[in-house]
Amino acid sequence: MKLGFIAMSGVRCQNAELLAIGLNLPGFVERSKVIASLPSLGLLTLAGMTPPDLDISYVEVPDIKNLDGLPGDFDAVAISSFSAQIREAYQLADRYRAAGVTVIMGGLHVTARPDEALQHADCIVIGEGEPVWPTVVADLLANRLQPRYDARPQRFDFAHSPMPRFDLLEIPRYNRLTVQTQRGCPYNCDFCGASIRLAPGFRAKPVPRVIDELLAIKDLWPHPFIEFADDNTFADRRRGRDLTRALIPLGLRWFTETDISVAWDDELLRLMKESGCAQILIGLESPDAASLNGVEHKANWKSHQANRYAEAIARIQDAGITVNGCFVLGLDHHDSSCFDRVFQFVRDTGLYEVQITVMTAFPNAPLYDRLAASNRLLSPEAWETCTLFDVNYLPANMSVATLENGFRDLGRQIYDSGFIEERRRRFFQRQDTIRRGLS
C-alpha cells in the first residue's frame, strides 16, 4: 500500500492590490517567505502513527494550477485542510479520485464543514487526527474504510503523542521547522479558527516528549530554527518555566505564539531568553480596551489587558525578546480611526515586528455564525477569502472600501523600510543601554 501525505503549503491572498504591494513591502515579503516554507505538522504527525509496513511519502503541493499530472503514485492519499486552500484541496482530491486513488481528508476546514468535504473524499476525519488515525489506516488496509470518523468525543492525551516523521522532509527546503508543545487555549476569542476548534480547552505535551522531538530534528538539522506551532505556549506559566529550563541545553533559536501575561513573570522571561527565544507573537488585536470589548468570550480578557499593553511590551522587549504584535483591523468597535490608532501605538511602543490582518470569519469560529445570522457575510462560502487579508463581510462602522483602503495604507506605513529600521534600531539601542547598566 502506497500512502501519500499531501500538504498544500504557501501563503494565500485574493486581493490583487495587496498581492502587488506585498512584492514591494519588505515586511510582507520577509514574513511570507518565512512562513510559506513550513511543512504540515499535522500530516507528519499522522505519518508518525502509520505502521512501518506501509510505503509512505510526504509531498508539498504549493500550487495546483501548475501541476503536471498527479503528485506521486499512490493507492491512497491523506490531504490536510485550511479554509483558504480548501477549494484547491477539493480539486486535487477530485483528480486523485478520478484516477482511482482513495482520498482521506481531515484538518480544520473539514472539521468545520464535514458534509461539504465528503463530496470530494472517500473518507473524512472530524477533529484531532491522533485518536482515530490508527483505526482509519487499519480499515483502509482491510478494505472497510468508513466515510466518516469523528474524533471529537475523545480528547487526545499528549502523553501518547507520536514522533512526527521529520525524516520524510527534504530538510534544506525549509528555513524553520515546527514542533507543537501544546494545543488549544484557555481563552475563546470570537474570531479564533485555530486548534481550539478541533478540541476545546488547553492541553500541554509533556516536556520530555517535546525535547525528544527537538532532538530528532537536531539529528537531521544540527542548528535548526524552531517555530512552536502552538496557540498559547505560556498560558500555563509554571509549565512554561519547566519547558524553557529543559530547552536551555539544546542551544536552539525559537519563536512562538503566546499571550501578553508572560510580561509579568520575570523568571519566565529570563528563561525564555536564555533558552534561545528570538521572538514571541502576541495577538494584541487592537490598541485600546474599548475596541476589544467582547472579543474574548469567557472573561472579556483581552479588553482587561489593553491598558497595560504598552508596559507589557516594554518589559518583554527589555528582556531581550522581540515582540511581534498582531492587530486585527475591522473589529466591530473599529471605525475609520482604527488605522491611525494602530500606527500610533506601534510607533509609541516601538514594537519590533508587526502583523496586521483583516477580521476573518473562519467557518469554525463564533464570529462566522454571528455575521451569518445578521446577514453581514458578503459571500458566505467564499472560503478562499479566509486568508486574513481579504474582506468578506460588512464591517459594523465603516464601509468595505474604507477597510480595504485603510488596511492597505496602514500596511504601507507599517512596512515602510525606514520605519522598520527605526524600530529595530530602537530595540538594539535599548538593549545596549540595559547591558551597560544605564537604565
Residues that bind ligand B12 (CB under 6 A): 7-13, 35-36, 38, 40-43, 45-46, 78-80, 82-85, 104-109, 125, 128-130, 133, 178, 180, 193-195, 198, 229-231, 257, 362, 364, 386-389
| 203: its cell numbers | 492541553
CB of 131 to ligand B12, least distance (A): 8
DSSP string, 267-295: HHHHHHHHTTEEEEEEEEESSSHHHHTTT
CB of 181 to ligand B12, least distance (A): 11
Q: Pick between residue 133 and residue 301 the one whose CB is nearest to ligand B12.
A: 133
The answer to whether residues 92 and 345 touch, using CB atoms and an 8 Å cutoff, is no
Q: Pick between residue 154 and residue 433 the one whose CB is nearest to ligand B12.
A: 154
CB of 259 to ligand B12, least distance (A): 12
DSSP string, 320-382: T-EEEEEEEES-TT--TTHHHHHHHHHHHHT-SEEEEEE----TTSHHHHHHHHTT-BSSTT-
Q: Pick between residue 27 and residue 42 the one whose CB is nearest to ligand B12.
A: 42
Q: Pick between residue 212 and residue 335 the one whose CB is nearest to ligand B12.
A: 212
The answer to whether residues 162 and 45 touch, using CB atoms and an 8 Å cutoff, is yes
Q: Pick between residue 133 and residue 345 the one whose CB is nearest to ligand B12.
A: 133
Measured between alpha carbons, how far is 248 from 233 in angstroms, rounded to an integer? 16
Q: Pick between residue 165 and residue 315 the one whose CB is nearest to ligand B12.
A: 165
CB burial string 109-139: b at 16+ within 10 A, e below: bbbbbbebbeebbbbbbbbbbbbbbeebbee
Written as one letter, the residue type at 393 is Y
CB of 349 to ligand B12, least distance (A): 22
| 16: its cell numbers | 490583487
CB of 295 to ligand B12, least distance (A): 14
Residue 324: CB atoms within 10 Å: 19
CB of 10 to ligand B12, least distance (A): 5
CB of 91 to ligand B12, least distance (A): 13
Q: Pick between residue 77 and residue 420 the one whose CB is nearest to ligand B12.
A: 77
The answer to whether residues 181 and 243 touch, using CB atoms and an 8 Å cutoff, is yes
Q: Are strands 277-285 and 322-329 parallel, antiparallel or unpaired?
A: parallel
Measured between alpha carbons, how far is 213 from 229 in angstroms, rounded to an integer? 13
